Amino acid sequence: MKMKASIVGTALSVFVIGLTASAWAVDMDAMKKKVETVKGQAESVKKEGGEVKQDVKDMKAQDAMKNAGETKTEGMKLKDTVTGK
């Protein structure tokens, strides 16, 4: 009887260890997929950040050109006022 109980106990232990290892492997695979997804999202955010940075640079350049044009116009008006034209 002891031998049978020992064999059943061993078989049960092997079965539980097998299930645990299988569950752990599935969890690791899921974690790996999540990490890859997060990496992809991070790359997308980085790319979008670069695009936004370039857009801001372009907007600053446009604003600078607009401000320069306005300054030039105001300078011409001031010149005309001073010279009496």
Task: Walk along the chain (85 residues) in steps of 10 and give the mean pLDDT of each run.
Answer: 77 76 72 83 78 75 75 75 73
Q: According to the model, what pLDDT value does residue 75 have? A: 75
Residue 77 and residue 21: Cα distance in Å, rounded?
A: 83
Residue 64 and residue 17: Cα distance in Å, rounded?
A: 69
- Amino acid residing at 79: K
User: In terms of pTM, does the model score above 0.75?
Assistant: no
Q: According to the model, what pLDDT value does residue 19 have? A: 66
